[in-house]
Amino acid sequence: MTTPKPDLSKLRINRSRSPTPSPGRALRVPLILAGLAVVFVAIVVVVMRGRSGIEVEVGRVEVVGGAAGSAGITANGYVVARTRASVSSRISGRLAMLSVEEGSQVRRGQILARLENADYVAAVAQATADSLRAEAALLEAQASRDQLQRDLVRAQDLFDRNLESARAVEDLQAQLAGADARIGVQTAQIHAAIASIALAKANLDNTFIRAPFDGTVLRKDAEVGEVVAPVATGGGLTRGAVVTMANLKTLEVEVDVNEAYIAQIRSDQQTRIILDAYPALRFEGTVRQIVPTADRQRATVQVKVAILERDDRILPEMGARVEFLTPANVATDAPSRILVPAKAVRADANATIVWVVRDGVVSRAVIDAGPVSGDQREVRSGLSGGERVILEPPASLKEGDKVSVITH
């Protein structure tokens, strides 16, 4: 029996009905789109904030007074002390005592340090004992001579009366001459003992290192226990100096002036001195000396400028710039002041600060603020003029933050 074949021509696909989506899938699609939108908005906000930063209002630091730009020749150099010394000992020895520190004020002749000196003390005692023995021997010789003189007088009297022989008189005369010779020897020994005492005392005094002039100790070059000597030998085992000191009342500035301009500089010419450490300050000076030789390699001449204003902030070896003034601008020269908007100054812990804006980035500047005049405040140090500072800076401001300056 033959099985009939199925008729596949009657099979059809119904395309009129669309599949019904599941409820979960229909809900997830809008949520994903909403999340992507939130992320996109956040990225845009962050990027825009990074580009623009915090909006702030700024003011400018001003320099008022002075005669900026009126100077002719300008030269750079360093502050030095005319009276300066590396104080060392006159003899070699181990340092037993150091009585000063950096910054100590000392007077001429004051003891700064002492070497171990027990052997020198003993030498003084020995020389003194030798001198005493020589003096005792001299007294004994003098007493012996006096006795011989009396014996000679008696013997001569007896000889004149023919009661004593001439030989006895001659013996006494010889003994008297010998006594006089011994007195001479003892006197010489006393002088030698006195000289020995003086030498021993001088050596003992040399163990004390004293200040050669009134001044300030700048640096300690040796410590207790180290060996010091007039000339350092033995590498790092021996120190050539104990302290370095200077008279800070003799501070001046040494600058190198190009030899092409040296003809425009004269003795006693007025100058303006600006220290690298305090660029906002100006100190008056005058040309003290033009060194009568030039540096062949550098084509410069050294000029020494006396500082007319004594200030405790001026220290040796500070960098300085000297402006040589002409008669025309000396008359118009006046002290300059740095002024900052008072609204920009803030107290931060133990410091007074302002926030300076450079290329859209803020940095914290510590200042020495002076009195307030109107809406301005004087700045003694920390700013040089021309900076832009944030007015009423927000408390959340941090070093390195980006800001956007509000313009009016």
Q: Output the pLDDT for position 68.
A: 45
Sign of the Cα torsion 169, 170, 171, 172 reads positive
Q: b/e per residue, 378-398, with b = 16+ CB within 10 A?
A: bbebbbebebbbbbebeeeee
Residues 315/103, Cβ–Cβ less than 8 Å: no
**Of 79-83, 302-306, 327-331, 404-408, minimum mean pLDDT range:** 327-331
Mean pLDDT score, 241-264: 92
Instruction: For residue range 17-58, list pLDDT tens digits in order.
Output: 555 555 555 556 566 666 676 666 566 555 455 445 688 888
The CA distances from residue 72 to 69, 262, 280, 308, 309, in Å, are 8, 12, 19, 20, 22
User: What are the DSSP E strand ranges found in 236-384?
Assistant: 238-239, 243-246, 251-258, 270-275, 283-295, 300-307, 319-324, 336-341, 346-348, 351-358, 361-373, 376-381
Mean pLDDT score, 64-85: 76
> What are the φ/ψ torsions at residue 52 (nearest 5 degrees)?
-95, -40
Question: Residue 54: how many CA atoms within 13 Å on its side-chain side?
Answer: 19
Residues 202/97, Cβ–Cβ less than 8 Å: no
Most confident of 84-93, 175-184, 319-328: 84-93
pTM, to two decimals:
0.54
| Vertex 99: Cα angle to 94 and 100 (nearest 5) | 115
Mean pLDDT score, 272-285: 89
Residues 397/362, Cβ–Cβ less than 8 Å: yes
Q: Output the pLDDT for position 20.
A: 52
- Residue 172 confidence class, pLDDT cut points 50, 70, 90: confident
Q: Output the pLDDT for position 21.
A: 52
Instruction: For residue range 336-380, list pLDDT tens digits in order.
Output: 678 889 889 998 878 899 999 988 898 989 998 877 766 788 888
Mean pLDDT score, 136-150: 82
The residue with greater pLDDT, 180 or 327, is 180
Instruction: For residue range 85-119, list pLDDT tens digits in order.
Output: 999 988 889 999 999 999 999 999 999 999 999 99
Q: Output the pLDDT for position 74.
A: 85
Contacts of 302 (CB under 8 A, 6+ apart): 254, 255, 256, 257, 290, 291, 295
Most confident of 41-55, 154-168, 309-323: 309-323
- Residue 334 confidence class, pLDDT cut points 50, 70, 90: low
Q: Output the pLDDT for position 67.
A: 47
The residue with greater pLDDT, 379 or 68, is 379
Q: Output the pLDDT for position 12.
A: 60
- Residue 235 confidence class, pLDDT cut points 50, 70, 90: low
Cross-strand pairs, 215: 106
The CA distances from residue 310 to 92, 243, 251, 287, in Å, are 38, 24, 9, 16
pLDDT at 234 over 70: no
User: What single-letter amino acid sits at 315?
Assistant: L
